[in-house]
Every structure is written in structure tokens, then in C-alpha cells.
Structure 1
Amino acid sequence: MRILLVEDELEMAAALRAALAQHDMVVDHVTTLAEGEEAIATAAHCAILLDRQLPDGDGLTLIPRLRACKQIAPVIVLTARGELGDRVKGLDTGADDYLAKPFAIDELLARLRAVLRRAPVMAPDRIRAGCLDYDWHDRCATIDGVALDLPRRELLVLEALLRRRGRTVQRAALEEAVYGFDDEIQSNALDMHVSNLRRKLMKAGAGLEIHGIRGVGYLLKHAA
């Protein structure tokens, strides 16, 4: 799951990135409205966390521009401006939720889950492929009731392949799903994650195979 964080308070941004990463989320962090627009044009995000008081203007002005460009990712406004009038203005401008600072990370995660459940692009709560069951809410893969232990990168690879199972996922799309803007990507890092995931699926009897499509990407399909 890829999240865009538009926040100019670097200490808070660092804390949010660390907390969200612990819940298997890739976070792209920018500090201005202009950078936010560029990030949205560059990559697809499941949700946007948006501060209001940014160096180049009110974060709320970004929302109508997003909707005009048919961007449907839900937006949660994070701001110190938590008075009733501010909250009403934020929601009327098009925000999906409005959370006043300071807030608990658990509440933010709950609100993220809520807006993602309402989002039209959200996957079903559970999906079954081969012998593997995947719970999108809990980010948990099980095979015959036994949890599959996957580190964050491998879990993100699995999610991206499950979303397009039976179709080839281009390498660039996989990298976009697994890495943020600030992540350093070694030349063979993605291949290593895919290889580890393939081995674990095979060992656990998932009934799924990951095929490399030379020069294109990877394909997840039922084992023959």
C-alpha cells in the first residue's frame, strides 16, 4: 500500500513514516503543494495524508485540483487547525476525513482503514488464490490456516501480484508498489524479493507460481 504524505514538519513526518512502515506501507514524503502535485502525477497512491499549513499555501487548495484531474485517492487532512469551522471547511472542500494534531497513530491507522474501505479502488476484504487466503484488512497471508511469515517488501510484492493475478505485472509497476521516492533500489533487489517470495510460496504449498517474463516483469498464476 502506497501513501503520499504532504507534511512540512520534518520531525512529525519522520515519525509518521516510521509508524506507517511498521504496518507495511510505502510512504512518499513531500513538503510543499508543488511537490505534492508532482508526486501525484508521478505515482499512484492509495491514500493522501495532507497538512494544511504548508510553505506554499493551504493544503486544502490541493484537493479540488486532485478531483479535477480525476484523482480518487481518499484524502485525510492532518492539521493543528482543529476548530469546528476548520473541520467543516476541510470536509466541504472534499477531504474524506479531518484529523486534528496531536493525534494517536492508532487513530490515524483506523481512519486510514475506514477511508480505504469506502474508496472505489479498494480490494475486497479477502481474496483466495490457489491455496492462499489473503486478508487485505489485516495484511495477512495464510495457507490452510497457517500464517505465511513475510517481511514488508515481500508482502508488498505479493499484494501487487495478487491485485493483477493472471496478468503480467511490469517491473516498473512492481517497483512503484514496493519502494518509495526516497528508497535506494539496488539493481537486483526486486528480483531477490520475488525469488524469496516464490520459494516461500512453493515451500508452503500455496498452489501458486511466480513466472518471470523476460524484459517485462512477473506473472502470478495457479500452479500447473
Structure 2
Amino acid sequence: MNIVTEPVTEYLDSLYRPANDFLAELRRTCEEQMIPIVLRDAESLILQLLRLQRPERILEIGTAAGYSAIAFALECPEAKIVTLELSERSADTARENIERAGCSDSIWVLGGDARESLARLAAAYEAEGKETGQPPELFDFVFIDAAKGHYQEFWDGAAPLMKEGCLVVSDNVLFKGMTASDQFIPERRQKTITNRMRSFLRFLTQTEGIRTAVLPVGDGVAVSIVGKAPSAR
């Protein structure tokens, strides 16, 4: 029996409490303006994972208005957060929100194509390691929440930056149910994105060195733990 029904979702949403008034207002604004942010139950799950792991370095792929980056910073005030956003306009909005939230010292927003930003970060980390003779400080938590058809590319780009034991959370992997069944696909153009997401989930669940649980939370959340060799296809 499927218990994740609309009344159950509404009930779970009624239990949700924002971290502070600023985030509550930012969520209201984003929802009213239809700016994509993490759903409430997915946010609750991710913040609980952060409480358990206490990461020191967080990489976020997909900033939007900066909501989740701010939530992460408030939950892990000692962590350093790098967040990537394709739209320069959204990146500027995120920077403004981050400053208003008092989190500018811990969050860095990089604008531009995330795949290019990841390549630059990986090159910089490699150069740093050669210069210092010490392994660079890699990320121990990665959050993927950007263009759904490019999750595999985001993973591949982030893999060299992942610390052993890195926790990777990929949001919206059920893609409004389309990943699970073609019956939920309303348009042909969604078929390509859906097939790419299915391929990505096969990669997460069948690749040696990656342990993944796919959960029906929000729009689907994949929680992965990366072993000794972060895998790029």
C-alpha cells in the first residue's frame, strides 16, 4: 500500500519548522515566486544527515536563491560551503540573501556552468596538492540539485573533489514520478531527461564503491556514501 499520499504529505508538512524567521520568509518568497528550492520534507532529511555527519566542507551544485546553502550554514556554522549556480542573476540574488542571513563568511557562490566550475575546482585542488605536497582539503558532503538531465555529469565532475566517505545527496531523482514509470511523462522532451535520471540511479546503485539508498522523500532523494574510489563513468 502506498502511504505517501497527499494527506500524508500535508500532515508531514504541518510538522515542519524552519530554522529561523529569515529562512521562513525566504521559503515563502521562493514558493510564491516559483523559485525552485528543496522541499520541506527533503530539507528535514538533509539537515538531519548534516547533524549526524557534521561535515567540514560542503559542495552544492545548484544554488537558486541560496536557500539550502543558508540552511546548511546555519546547521553547520563551522563548515565551509561552495555553491555553484548557472544563472548569474540567481547567483547575485543568492549572494544578497546570504549576506542578509549573515552567512557571507562561510558560503562562496560561483556563477557559471557547474561542469566548468567543477573542472576549475578540480584543477585548482590538483595544483594546490602539487605545490604543498599535501593532499588538498576535499568535500565531505555534496548536494546535487541542478539540471536533472545532467546529474551524471555533475557527479563525474565532483568525484575528484570527494573525500573518502563523502556523503552525496541527490535531490529530485524521482522527477515527479517520471523516473519510476513512463505513465507520468507528459511530454516527449521529458523522456530524455527521465532516461538520463534512470541511468544515473543505476550508476548510483550498481557501481562498486558507492552505497546508495533511494528514498521517496520530497521528489525523491538519493543518499550515497562514496568509498575509497569516487567513481566517474
* TM-score, structure 2 as length reference: 0.33
Q: Which has the higher strand share?
A: 1
Q: Which has the higher helix share?
A: 2
* TM-score, structure 1 as length reference: 0.34
Bigger Rg over Cα: 1
